[in-house]
């Protein structure tokens, strides 16, 4: 099953729309609640990042019988040093992002904790792609 | 402690979930930082001063369904509507975060960590 969502820059009101929809689909498919939580927490963190840091992007979700594959690809400033961005507590978030309860430098580390595979690729001035996979068993 | 007792203790207003007030609550987590809420493995009652749609979205993702807003923050119609879709309980008190946590801790609500 393939699903696509559009992420709009600065659109915090709709942050989580994709994650919420994926949550409903996985629940309907009977995926275990603990797995659903790991998937949607990771996807939500990635969605919030795309809205907070980039100029919009796409969320692509592929659900198979035994796993979910998610790609959040944004057009944005990119991440100059991915290893630094992966460190807990490192953040470049604007005050508006912090006002929403985010921007504490916990997003990428929390994604890593919740997924079975995380791959972050980024080109400065072009954008960032976050690829994640979670197994259902 | 039941939600009804929590509402009485905090002199709070119920914005959503009146029908769930007889439910027991045993643990709570207090934070204005949604990034922290997203790291929780358990599903405690959330005590927060952050009152916006992202509070409700975060609770949805983290499968938390009881929220106490402190410092006189009142949930907006958008928030209540989204929370209703997720069968949540929304309560608001004029008490500070510190006072809210103190009263509930004293009444037997346990911390997560």
ipTM of the complex model: 0.86
B3-108 belongs to CATH 3.30.1280.10: no
Report the domain count for chain A: 1
Contact B63 A33 (CB under 8 A): yes
Average pLDDT over residues B23-32: 97
Instruction: List phi, psi (to 5°) of B32.
Output: -100, -5
Domain boundaries, position A33:
2-135
Contact B61 A13 (CB under 8 A): no
Q: Give the minimum alpha-carbon distance from B45 to chain A in angstroms, rounded to a whole number.
A: 17
Structure tokens at B112: 């997560």
Residue B40 in contact with partner chain A when CB distance is under 8 A: no
Q: Specify the pLDDT at position A62.
A: 97
- Decide if A6 contacts A107 (C-beta within 8 A): no
More confident residue, B23 or A15: B23
The residues that bridge with A123 in the sheet, in sequence order, are A127
Nearest neighbour of A41 by CB, restricted to B33, B62, B78: B62
CATH number at residue A104: 3.30.565.10
Q: How many residues in chain A?
A: 137
pLDDT tens-digit readout, A3-26: 999 988 878 888 889 999 999 999
């Amino acid at each position: 099953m393939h699903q696509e969502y559009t992420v709009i820059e600065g659109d915090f009101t709709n942050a989580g729309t994709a994650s919420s929809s994926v949550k409903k689909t996985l629940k309907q498919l009977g995926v275990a609640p603990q797995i659903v939580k790991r998937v949607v927490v990771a996807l939500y963190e990635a969605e919030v990042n795309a809205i907070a840091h980039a100029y919009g992007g796409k969320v692509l979700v592929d659900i198979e019988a035994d796993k979910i594959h998610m790609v959040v690809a944004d057009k944005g400033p990119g991440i100059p040093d991915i290893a630094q961005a992966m460190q807990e507590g490192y953040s470049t978030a604007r005050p508006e992002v912090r006002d929403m309860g985010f921007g504490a430098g916990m997003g990428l580390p929390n994604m890593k904790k919740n997924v079975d595979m995380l791959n972050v690729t980024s080109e400065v001035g072009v954008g960032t792609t976050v690829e994640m996979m979670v197994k259902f068993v | 402690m039941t939600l009804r007792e929590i509402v009485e203790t905090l002199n709070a207003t119920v914005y959503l979930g009146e029908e769930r007030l007889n439910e027991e609550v045993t643990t709570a987590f207090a934070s204005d930082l949604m990034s922290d809420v997203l790291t929780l493995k358990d599903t405690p009652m959330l005590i927060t001063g952050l009152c916006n749609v992202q509070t409700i979205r975060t609770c949805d993702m983290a499968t938390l369904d009881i929220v106490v807003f402190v410092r006189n923050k009142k949930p907006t119609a958008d928030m209540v509507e989204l929370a209703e879709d997720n069968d949540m309980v929304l309560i608001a008190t004029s008490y500070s975060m510190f006072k809210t946590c103190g009263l509930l801790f004293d009444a037997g609500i346990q911390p997560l960590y």
